[in-house]
Amino acid sequence: MGSSEKVKKTDQHTVKLKNIVRTLPEKPGVYQFLDARGKIIYVGKAKSLRKRVASYFNKETGISGKTSVMVKKIDDILHIVVDSEPDALLLENNLIKKYQPRYNVNLKDDKSYPWICVKNEPFPRVFPTRTVIHDGSVYFGPYASLRMMNTLLDLVRQLYKLRTCKLNLSEKNIAARKFKVCLEYHLGNCKGPCEGLQQSDDYELAITEIKEILKGNISNVLVSLRELMKRYASELAFEKAQMVKEKIELLEKYQSKSLVVNPKINNVDVFSIVSDDESGYVNYLRVINGAIVQAHTIELKKKLDESDNELIAIAVTDLRQRFDSDAPEIIIPVEVDFDLPGTIITLPKIGDKKHLLELSERNARYYMIEKRKQLELTDPERHTKRILNTMMKDLKLPDLPVHIECFDNSNMQGHYPVAAMVCFRNARPSKNDYRHFNIKTVEGPNDFASMEEVIFRRYQRLLEEGQSLPQLIIVDGGKGQLSSAVKSLEKLNLRGKISIIGIAKRLEELYFPDDPVPLHIDKKSETLKVIQYMRDEAHRFGITHYRKKHEKGTIKTTLTEIEGIGNVIARKLLSRFKSVKRIKEASVEELKSVIGKVKGQVVYNYFKKNPG
């Protein structure tokens, strides 16, 4: 490969990455850099994904030499949107532990998040740790807040008398009386299982209850704590009561913890879908021990107008196989026509699982938006064709609306009636084709007759000049304006040859000829956005023309009636005083300062004689 080809390829790669960055959301989340082999080489967290990732490609930020080497190896960028910065922090931690990317700092014990361990041993200990050992012990967490974790541990120690020693309390050792009770027993913090003073069944019952607390089932515990607080208060032990109150508040806060760490949700797969006419976008989250450990979004191209139910069924099968998941529960938003042996399929309506599903859906939606924006940047023609196809489908048009014209009337109580037409080609303004109309045959405020005149004049002229006609006409107004426009098309024998609709401002209703029931389409749809854009643009264009005509009419009918005052002097006066009323109220000195002594005196004398 020649040097010029290498440079060209590098430029194309840079453009690709910058286009990805430009479409990232300004939301908190985690981003992943992938190399050419699709391997994750770096995982990072951000308050704003777009700003943080963009900083790697901004020369002004002065990235280090090692970072520059990493950036050169980036071939693709993935990201996961979360609700908050703590969520991003925990998710980053989980992903780094799972993938151990080359350019991430190794997570030492003192840098990892703390867990609560229920040790796999006779008379289990419950203690904090930053090291997870797969020896059958049960771990709860990780915890973003040390204070929260210590509150739980304090609660456990207050409610249950557990041993803290590391002795091997096997039945054999206890029977052989190898151990003696320690100070913790004499302080009342331990029941002395080392000397057989507490039975294993009693101890295991306490451990079972502790596990429930650590899983988040703390409602009963809160009741107990409130009773304890009341007892302390009745005994006038206010300091102890205050300490318990603080624990209650922290536990209540713990109940509303983030979705990323939720001990109630264990080993589940979450799937969500958003779709458009061409594709379905399915997001997959894998949740283990209350933490998201995997996230992936795929695009499924539609071939036969498949439904969301069909697409998500395909995606569930593919992604579970791809990520080798055997999670016993699947959370999805729609009914599916298949069963997975040994797997529960959940369609949540409320609660934590519903919130997790919504998080997944947001990621799918962001992915879809990014794809659209990238398509618009890299292949604008394809992007335009997709919008036009959407409009054709939504409005049930016989042809693609490549050429659309929109009309709006403007007048003030019938004075200076004008109309405007804006033209869009390929869903974009074609400003050279915009037209203004002065209403000629209508007297007084009559929007219906004005619309009939303008439509007739516009398309009569296009027919006479042999110009191309639009595929769609939009009139700003409801049934009345639409009916008037249709009359003109009938006179020109164009009824049925050009599609026409009206848009009413109040509820953004779309009216069709001969159909009394308006069409309401999704307020977020691209079809309505294009129509609203055209309507607003026609209004803006028409108002501009109306104001110019009104100003010109005011000059002609009032100021230029004064002998010796022409258009130039009249414009000077209006430019300075803004209205004829203020000119009438001006002093002779103010008038002279603008148009000279002689002309100023003339204007002043005129309005003294004609004050009305």
Q: Tokens at residue 6, please? A: 């290498």
**pLDDT for the residue 181:** 93
Contact 166, 194 (CB under 8 A): no
**pLDDT for the residue 575:** 77
- At 434, the pLDDT band (50, 70, 90 cuts) reads very high
**pLDDT for the residue 61:** 59
Distance CA 155, CA 224 (A): 11
- At 455, the pLDDT band (50, 70, 90 cuts) reads very high
Distance CA 568, CA 565 (A): 8
**More reliable by pLDDT, 445 or 24:** 24
Distance CA 291, CA 433 (A): 57
Q: What percent of the chain has pLDDT over 70?
A: 84
**pLDDT for the residue 257:** 46
**pLDDT for the residue 256:** 47
Distance CA 487, CA 456 (A): 9
CATH 3.30.70 fits 268-377, yes or no: yes
Q: Tokens at residue 448, please? A: 């219906």
Long-range contacts of 196-204 (CB under 8 A, 24+ apart): 198/123, 198/161, 200/122, 200/123, 203/123, 203/124, 203/162
Q: Averaged over 132-140, what is the pLDDT? A: 85
Dump pLDDT digits (tens) for 216-258: 556 666 787 788 889 989 999 888 888 778 777 766 665 544 3
Contact 43, 96 (CB under 8 A): yes
Contact 406, 535 (CB under 8 A): yes
- At 113, the pLDDT band (50, 70, 90 cuts) reads low
Distance CA 32, CA 84 (A): 18
**pLDDT for the residue 33:** 94
**More reliable by pLDDT, 380 or 43:** 43
- Within 10 angstroms of residue 183's Cβ, the number of other Cβ atoms is 8
Dump pLDDT digits (tens) for 57-110: 876 656 667 778 888 899 999 999 988 776 777 787 778 777 888 887 654 333
Please tell me the class of the 3-99 domain.
alpha beta
Fold topology of 558-609 = DNA polymerase; domain 1 (1.10.150)
Q: Averaged over 411-420, what is the pLDDT? A: 63
Dump pLDDT digits (tens) for 467-497: 999 999 999 888 888 999 999 999 999 988 9
DSSP reduced 3-state for 341: coil
Q: Under 8 Å CB-to-CB from 441, ≥6 apart: which residues?
A: 449, 453
Residue 322 has pLDDT above 50, yes or no: yes
The enclosing H or E element of 325 equals none
- At 547, the pLDDT band (50, 70, 90 cuts) reads low
Distance CA 298, CA 149 (A): 37
**pLDDT for the residue 40:** 92
Residue 355 has pLDDT above 50, yes or no: yes
Q: Domain ranges in the chain?
A: 3-99, 141-255, 268-377, 394-549, 558-609
Q: Averaged over 431-458, what is the pLDDT? A: 85
- At 111, the pLDDT band (50, 70, 90 cuts) reads very low
**pLDDT for the residue 304:** 59
Dump pLDDT digits (tens) for 260-319: 545 567 788 999 999 887 788 999 988 875 667 667 888 888 765 678 888 888 788 778
Q: Which residue has the tokens 């069709």?
A: 512
Omega prior to 86 cis, within 30 of 0: no
Q: Nearest CA to 423 among 437, 415, 434? A: 434
**pLDDT for the residue 337:** 72
Q: Tokens at residue 128, please? A: 């904090």
**pLDDT for the residue 301:** 80
Dump pLDDT digits (tens) for 491-517: 999 988 999 999 987 778 899 998 888
**pLDDT for the residue 414:** 45
**pLDDT for the residue 143:** 64
**pLDDT for the residue 413:** 46
Name the CATH superfamily for 394-549. Answer: UvrC, RNAse H endonuclease domain (3.30.420.340)
Residue 320 has pLDDT above 70, yes or no: yes
Distance CA 297, CA 273 (A): 9
Q: Tokens at residue 247, please? A: 């624990």
**pLDDT for the residue 109:** 37
**pLDDT for the residue 258:** 38
- At 11, the pLDDT band (50, 70, 90 cuts) reads low
What is the tally of helices (H) and strands (E) in the chain? 20, 19
**pLDDT for the residue 141:** 63
Residue 456 has pLDDT above 80, yes or no: yes
**pLDDT for the residue 484:** 92
394-549 matches 3-99 in CATH topology:
no
